[in-house]
Every structure is written in structure tokens, then in C-alpha cells.
Amino acid sequence: MKKILSFFLFSLLVTTSFAQLTVRNNAFLYANDQVLFVEDDVNLKESASSLYLRNDAQLVQGTGVTGNSGLGKLSIFQSGTVHNYAYNFWASPVGNVDTDFAGNSDFRPNTNFYEWIGNVDPLLNEITSIPVSFTGSLDGTSTPLTISSYWLYSYNPGTQYSDWDHIGESGNLASGYGFTMKGITGSTGQLYDFRGKPNTGTINVAVLNGQSTLAGNPYPSALDTAAFIHDPNNNALFDGTLLFWEHDLSVSSHQTADYIGGYGMYTISADGLMQSWNAPIFSSPDANGFPSGIGSASTSGKRIYRYIAVGQGFMVEATADGNLQFKNEHRAYYKQTDPNSEFYKTASQTQKFTNEEQDIYNYNDHGQILPNPYKRFRLNVNFNNAFTRPLLHNFHPTATNGFDFGLESANNETAPTDAYFILQDVPYVTQAHNFDIDLKIPLVLKIEQNMPVAVKVYDIQNLDNQPIYLHDKETDVYYDLTVLNFETNLEAGIYDNRFEIVFNNTNTLTTEAFEDSNFNIFQNNKRSQLEIYNPNAKQINTVTITDVSGKQILNKTDLNTKPQYEFSTKSLSTGVYIVNVTFKDNTVQTKKIIVNN
């Protein structure tokens, strides 16, 4: 009777906050789809004292809390997103309850992982779980839930470098550090029940300059990336980008040489209004663990948003020695079922926003729709129709010509065939500037072997029909990517001084002697014809069209004077051409056009 009373009483009270929360004896508290806010500590005193967070319920605590206590357990669910051959990055929201003291405890898999089994009693159905089983074999199973301890690893800095450290089923992992775990046979959505002492307060994660550390959300609540990344302690210690591993689920092998995967990269501006996500490029590792081969693009649609879900792990790359810190002020109550939070999986795109939030958190097919005055565009650089490297360029009023924390993401492990922006010899998948019509953005293409290359622009936001040109400096041709994709064949090599993105086509100019603002040369691709508008009836001697190699395609002479001319371009191949109009006084009007047949 006592358990039943506790269930009904506390399931109604979770809409309010507590100054301090204590659960005693065999009583339990059940929170359903709501936030449980405790200003001070949580004490689950005896071993049978329990706190259940279900259906997006989360625990958030005040900024002055230094530790929770007790021998009882908080329980919270999270689902994996991979099968038995692939990894998720995890971080535990709870630690062991070996002893009763005020503070965080280490996570131990065979102590803190449970399997939800349900119950015939509807009142107890959502709270009944049993400890999971473990196996030393390579594959886990779902019935009963058996985790392969073979794949439980952390990746933390040692005295000189980071390395994979085996945890196994009985190893300890301090709060704030992440771990790898493969899924189970036959499922990509296995449910796990984390049970133990809830983590709280300031949590330190050691990092070493130039090294990577596997960390993760250590709390039984969402983690606000804007607060975590831009915390003054943290922004001095790492580059501001969180890296999320994605495994190619089409590969069914435990052999490291067969692995195919890559890191998606996420950062966010200090004001929280500009989120930057770049999907991973999949590749196999070479003998030293670096990307090899041409790779392939992730097509899963997985992405990360501002609020990191419970249990989510991620890599960070340090720029100085020290301790990254997770703090209670970084915590937020944000439901995983809402569109701005995910446990690295395909987004639901569910909208649940107030009118004030709508402009900030709307989403299109590629992610966030930016509020003014922020601008952006994305490039897809396709290699040999085999894979595509996505690149993102932001325009933000605070951006500089140097590195901009929270607006840019470097890519320190480019593939043998790849594309990237560059700054001071550092490759970037996300770059930022303050918009300027005369801005020139170098685009580097790295080609391992002769192949066709295509560049496409998409997700153009708040640029108000601004042309976006790919300038080929070798041919001095400007390709307006908003009109037509750029396509070419390139020999093997690194093209680090040939291509740039610009917004001002300096070659589409008239001669100084020509003065007629009403005269216009226009390629009408809907009608497959070149149209010349001459409302002031200037006398034209010749009209020529040449391709970019200089070959003359059309030459019209002895033209009668009239206000409009039309020349068919149906026979021309898709591409860039140069139109020259010569007048009686020998002045010339020149324009590059793009024919799309």
C-alpha cells in the first residue's frame, strides 16, 4: 500500500520544485513526462529508495549543489541506434551506489545497466527492471538483454596521449567521460535502463592539448550545448566543436579494417541562434587509423541539435591542458521528443514551440532556419558520383578573418579525396565571415586520382538572391552556383589556389566607353535562347558566342537595328559561354552566360 500511495502522490507533485528531495525506505517517486527540479541535493537514502524518470521526465538541480547521496537508485531510459556490429558513443547519467556519501560515483556497467522487463501489474509496469547480463563474446543479444563487454571502451588522455582503454563489464569510469558500446543482434533500437546515484554539480573531464577525449552528457537531463561550449572555463580549453561518431550500418563485420564511419561536427554561436552541423563522411581506416580511400557520404539523416540528450557521448579536441567542466547551469529541461534535441538519430521534426521561439527553432530539410541578420549557404562537393563532402559557410556579424569560436569547425583528418575551406593551412568543414560583397573564400579540392568533380550550392539563407560564384582562377571563369552546378574533370593533386567562392563577378563588366544602362544580354534557358535587349536602338555590328576554350560557336553580322534580338541556343551543350556584342563605334559589351540544356 505504501508503494501505491507514493506512486500517485508524487506523480502529481513533480510539476512543482523541491528545495531538497529525500526518499526513504522502500518508497519511490515517479515522474512522468515533466521536469523534476530540486534546488539542493537528492538523497535516495536506503537501497530500496527509488526515483523513476519516464517518458521524457528529467531531473534538473540548482547551481549550488555539490553532490547527491544515498544507497537508492534513480532510473532513466535511453535507446541505442545501432546493431551488434556498430558503436554508439555513450555517457552515463548515474554512478554506483556502493557507499553512501555526498558526491558523484563512478559508472560501472554491471552495476548501473538494467533491462526493463515490464510487469503484469499496470501500476508497476514502467518501473520493473532487472540487471543486464554480459558476455565476453563479440555479439550481444536482446532476450535476455546481454551486452558484449568486449566493446566497452573509454578514450581518455594519459600522461602524454589519448588512447582507447578497455572498461569491460566491471571497470569504473568517472562521471563526465564517455564510453563506446556496440548494439545487440537484430535490433537498432535497444532500450537500456540506467540505474544508480544521479550525477550533479561540477564535473571535471581532463583534456590534453592536441589530444582527443571521449566525454558526454553526465546528467539525467538535457545538456545545453551553448552553455557548455561557451562556458569561460571550457572555451579556453577546446576548439568549440563536438564530434559525434556514426557507423555505417551496412557493414556487418567486427574487423577493424572493415569499419566504415566518420565524425559529424557540431558547434553553436554564443547567443544560441546559429547552430552549425556537418554530417560525417564515411571512410575506412588505414594502418595508422586515419581515413583512407574515397569514402562515402552518410545518408542516414542523423544530426545533433542544441540540447544533448541523456546518455549521449561525444569527442572533444583540446587546445590546452586542463579540465573541461560540466555544470548544473549547463543543464536544461528539454524533451528528446522535441525537435531541438536528439540522441544522435534521425530527427522527428516535431514542432512544439511558442511564437517567440518559432523564428529561432524552425527547421528546413537541412537543419535550422536562421533568423535575420544571420546568413549561410552550404556546398555539396561530389567526387566521381561516389561520395559528397558537405561544407557549411556562416555569415555572422561577430565573425572575423581569424578563427571564430562557436561559428567554425576544423577538420583535422581530411580524406585522400576531399574538399574544405582553409584558414592558415587548417582545413575547415564549417567556416564563418562577416558578409562582404568583395569577400573571396578559398575552396581546396584534394584529388587522389583523375575523376569528375561537381559543386552544388544549397540551403541558402538570408542572402536575398545574391549570386554565389565559383571562380576558377585558372580559366578566369565565374560559375553562378545558384543557376547551375559546376562540373569538371580534375587530375590527381591538391588544388589549393585555383578555386574560390566569390559574390562579385568582376568579369561581367562593360567596357568603359560603353554607356547604356538599358542594354541587357540575357540567357533564357526556359526558351533555350540568347536574348539581347536594345531599347535605345544602338547599331550592332556583330554578336558572337564562344566557349571557355575560345572556340567560336556563333557569329552574327550585318544585323538590322531593332530593340530585341533572339538567337537559339538549343544546339549548345550545357556549360559556360562568352557573349561579345560589338557596336558601330567599336565599343564592346561582354557577358558570360550559363546554358542549361
Element (H, E) at 12: helix 2-13
Q: What is the pLDDT of residue 13?
A: 46
Sequence-distant (6+) residues with CB within 8 A of 255 are none
Using CA atoms of 61, 67, 68, 70 in order, give the dihedral in degrees to the nearest 10.
-170
Query: Domain spanning 520-595: which CATH class is it, in words?
Result: mainly beta
Residue with cell 577538420: 411
Confidence check: pLDDT of 347 > 60: no
Of residues 369 and 67, more confidence is placed in: 67
Determine if residue 452 is left, alpha or beta; phi over 0 gives left, psi from -120 to 50 gives alpha, anything else beta.
Answer: beta
d(CA 171, CA 173): 7
- Output the nine-digit C-alpha cell for 185: 543482434
pLDDT in tens, 46-67: 999 999 999 999 999 999 898 9
Q: Residues 179-206: pLDDT tens digits?
A: 999 999 988 899 999 999 999 999 999 9
CATH 2.60.40.3080 residue ranges of the chain are 520-595
CA dist 490 and 155 (Å) reads 39
Burial of 188: CB neighbours in 10 Å, binned 0-12, 13-18, 19+: middle
- Mean local confidence (pLDDT), 577-596: 85
Which pLDDT score is estimated for 408? 98
The secondary structure of 569-585 as a DSSP string is -TTSPSEEEEEEEEETT
Torsion angles phi and psi, residue 579, rounded to 5: -105, 130
Cell triple for 196 = 544508480
Report the distance separating Cα 372 and Cα 359, nearest Å: 9
Q: Enter the pTM of the model.
A: 0.82
- SS3 sequence, 495-510? EEEEEEEECCCCCCCE
Q: What would the pLDDT profile of 442-484 be if each residue is shown by its tens digit?
A: 999 999 999 899 999 999 999 998 999 999 998 888 888 988 7
What percent of the chain is modeled with pLDDT above 70? 87
Phi, psi of 227 (to 5 degrees): -70, -40
**For residue 407, with 0-12 CB atoms within 10 Å meaning exposed, 13-18 middle and 19 or more buried, which class applies?**
buried
More confident residue, 576 or 264: 264
pLDDT tens digits for 112-121? 999 999 988 8
Q: Residue 61's beta-bridge partner residues?
A: 38
Average pLDDT in the 574-594 region?
85
Q: How far apart are the C-alpha atoms of 73 and 127, rounded to whole Å?
A: 12
Q: Is residue 264 packed enough to be buried (19+ CB in 10 Å), middle (13-18) or exposed (0-12)?
A: buried
Q: Is the pLDDT of residue 337 over 90?
A: no
For 278-295, write each residue's pLDDT tens digit.
988 876 665 555 555 555
pLDDT greater than 50 at residue 353: no
Query: Does 109 have pLDDT greater than 60?
Result: yes
Tell me how far apart the alpha carbons of residues 150 and 43 are, in angstroms, rounded to a whole number: 34
Q: 58: Cβ–Cβ under 8 A, 6 or more apart, which residues?
A: 35, 36, 76, 220, 221, 222, 310, 333, 335
Cα torsion through 78, 81, 84, 89, rounded to 10:
-70
Which pLDDT belongs to residue 342? 62
Helix (H) or strand (E) holding 356: helix 355-361
The torsion defined by the Cα of 250, 261, 161 and 235, in degrees rounded to 10, comes to -130
Q: Quick check: 305 and 219 in contact, CB under 8 A?
A: no
Distance CA 453, CA 542 (A): 36
Query: DSSP states of 96-126 as a string?
Result: --SS--SS---B-HHHHEEEE---SSTTTTT
Give the single-character DSSP code of 462: S
Sign of the dihedral defined by the CA atoms of residues 276, 278, 279, 282, in that order: negative
Q: What is the pLDDT of residues 265-280, one digit of tens each?
A: 999 999 999 999 998 8
Note the pLDDT of residue 495.
97
| CA angle at 457 for the pair 453 and 458, rounded to the nearest 5° | 135
* Beta bridge partner(s), residue 89: 180
Mark 325-362 as b/e (b = at least 16 C-beta within 10 Å). bbbbebbbbbbbebbbbbbbbebeeeeeeeeeeeebbe
Burial 76-93, CB ≥16 within 10 A → b, else e: bbbbbbbbbbbbbbbbbb
Average pLDDT of the chain to the nearest whole number: 87
Of 110, 308, 133, 134, give the one whose Cα is nearest residue 196.
110
Most confident of 164-168, 301-305, 385-389, 576-580: 164-168
Confidence of residue 5 (pLDDT cuts 50, 70, 90): very low
Q: What pLDDT sits at residue 297?
A: 62
- Would you say residue 224 has pLDDT above 50? yes
Phi, psi angle pair for 179, to nearest 5° = -150, 160
Specify whether the CB–CB gap between 417 and 429 falls below 8 A. Answer: no
Q: Which three cell numbers stand for residue 360?
A: 529561432
Which SS3 state, helix, strand or coil, does residue 239 take?
Answer: coil
Cell of residue 464, nine digits: 536575398
pLDDT of residue 513: 45
**Residue 222: pLDDT over 80:** yes
Question: What pLDDT shows up at residue 285?
Answer: 60
* pLDDT the model gives residue 258: 82
Pick the range with the lowest mean pLDDT from 100-104, 252-256, 361-365.
361-365
Torsion sign (Cα): 229, 264, 283, 383:
negative
Residue 11 has pLDDT above 60, yes or no: no
Residue 312: what pLDDT? 97
CA distances (Å), 190 to each of 57, 77, 134, 136, 536, in order?
A: 19, 10, 15, 19, 73
Query: Can you give the pLDDT at residue 386?
Result: 78
